[in-house]
Every structure is written in structure tokens, then in C-alpha cells.
Amino acid sequence: MKKFKKLNKSMELAGRSFKFIFSCFCLIFFANCNTTAQSVIENSQRTISINMSATELIPADMIIFNININAEEKTPETAFETHKKREAVLATLLKEFDIKEENINFEPIRINKRTNYNNRQEEVTVNTSQQVSVSFSDFEIYEKIQVSLIKNGFDSFSGSFSSTKIGEGKEKALVSAIQKAKERAAFIAEQSGVKLGEITTINYSEHQVNYPPMAMEADMGRFKSEAPSMMDFAQTVSVTSNISIVFSISR
């Protein structure tokens, strides 16, 4: 009987110890959870993140003209020969219009072989292609170049407006985006009843430049009549800057 009482007393003491340990564990656990949750809330309230973009319009004072030299023949030798003749014609035209060498960019010639079957007979053709890009600021020669290209068998070319002041436009767009982001952050902080602090993070993306395409106007009668043209109207090139700024805040 005495042994049973001692055993019962020992189990009672062990139970009390377990309850005490379990209570301490729960207290520490919930206290830790509360601290973590409070920390997350505090951290989430310490910053304001602003995403902003700004676009700057700059005068278009240059034209980028893209020309594709191509040829199609039965053999690689004749295709290459025809291509070189057209290349020589284009080079002569560019010299006639006084296009500077630094304003001429081109890719190497590409040659592709194509096989077609017509009435079960194999037909082989060889095609060449070469991209040439030229830039010039004299808008008056734009249509004349098109007419000359068409007269000489060219049928694949396109143009777009550009500007020599894109660098300045990029800087202005970036300054404007930063200023707008600061103003937006200050407004949000004021309306929220908090104090705006220092900038903690800045993420900046590349500029986006939009080159307006140009219509191909190869009207040979235009030059005789001196009729009005869309080229008489000023054009602009847009430069967009995107930025993300994180500001610290305090109550």
C-alpha cells in the first residue's frame, strides 16, 4: 500500500512537471508567433513603393531607311551575280544622294536554296537577301530615293522617323519619371498621415523609343507638280523611361 502511494505521488509530480513545461513551451511559442507577426506588419508599413513612367517627345530630324537587296535565280552563281549587280546599283544611288559612309550599315549576304515540286518535277531556286540601313536628315530626298529604287528593280524597303537628340530625350524622360515618383510618394504619405523618409531602393529599366513608321510614297508625278506632302508636317519621336522607387516611411 505504501509503495502504491509513493508511485501515485511520483506520477502526480511528473504530471505537474509536464504541465509546467508544456505551459512554458506554449507561452514561448505564442510569444514568438506574436513577435514575428508584429515584425512582419511593422516591416510592411515602413516603405512605399512607387512605379512611374514618363514620356518625352523630341523633334524628328532624321530618317532611317531600310532596304532589302534580293535576287532569285536557278543556280548559286547566277543568284550571287544578280545580287552583286543590284548591290552596285544601290551603292551608286547612295553616292548620288550624298549619303555619308558613317550613315550606312549593312549585313552580309545570305543565300538560301529552295526546292519546289511542280507536276512531280523538282524545281530548284536560289534566293539571296541583304539588309541595308541608311540614315539622313534631308527629308527632301526621301521620296526621290524611293522612285530611284523602284526604277532599278527594288521592291522591298521601309522608312521610319528618328532623331539625333534621343540621348537628351532619354535624360529628360528619366528626370521626369523620378520627379513624378517623388511627388506621388509625398502625396500618398501626406494622405496616409505618415512621414516620407529617404529612398531605399531604385529599379530602372531601359528606355523605350518609338520610331513612327513612314508611308512609302513613290509618286513620280509629285516632283513636277510640287504638290503638298505629309512630309510638310513636323513629326516627333517618343522616348519612355520606367522607374521603380522605394521610400522609407515613419509615423
For residue 73, give the C-alpha cell.
535565280
pLDDT of 104 reads 94
Average pLDDT, stretch 197-220? 69
Residue 35 has pLDDT above 50, yes or no: no
Whether the CB-CB separation of 250 and 194 falls below 8 Å is answered with yes
For residue 247, give the C-alpha cell.
521610400
pLDDT of 77 reads 92
pLDDT of 106 reads 93
pLDDT of 139 reads 86
- Domains of the chain from N-terminus onward: 47-58+167-216+219-250 (3.30.110.170), 62-162 (3.30.70.2970)
Average pLDDT, stretch 174-194? 93
DSSP symbols for the chain: -HHHHHHHHHHHHHHHHHHHHHHHHHHHHHHHHHHHHHHHHHHHTSEEEEEEEEEEEEE--EEEEEEEEEEEESSHHHHHHHHHHHHHHHHHHHHHTT--GGGEEE---EEEEEEEEETTEEEEEEEEEEEEEEEES-GGGHHHHHHHHHHTT---EEEEEE-TTHHHHHHHHHHHHHHHHHHHHHHHHHHHT-EEEEEEEEEE---EEE--EE-----TTHHHHT---GGGS--EEEEEEEEEEEEEEE-
Please state, in angstroms and rounded to a whole number, the distance separating the CA atoms of residues 40 and 31: 14
Residue 135 has pLDDT above 80, yes or no: yes
pLDDT of 110 reads 93
Which of 10-14, 48-52, 149-153: highest mean pLDDT? 48-52
33 pLDDT band, cuts 50/70/90, is: very low
Whether the CB-CB separation of 238 and 209 falls below 8 Å is answered with yes
Packing angle of the helix pair 142-151, 76-96 (nearest 10 deg)? 150
Q: Over the chain, what is the mean pLDDT?
A: 78
Please state, in angstroms and rounded to a whole number, the distance separating the CA atoms of residues 152 and 216: 16
- What contacts 92, CB < 8 A, 6 or more positions away? none
Residue 251 has pLDDT above 80, yes or no: no
- CA dihedral over 225, 229, 233, 234, signed as positive or negative: negative
Residue 34 has pLDDT above 80, yes or no: no
2 pLDDT band, cuts 50/70/90, is: very low
pLDDT tens digit sequence for 98-115: 999 999 999 999 999 888
| Percent of the chain scoring above 70 in pLDDT | 72
Please state, in angstroms and rounded to a whole number, the distance separating the CA atoms of residues 107 and 211: 21
> CA angle 157-161-165, nearest 5°?
140
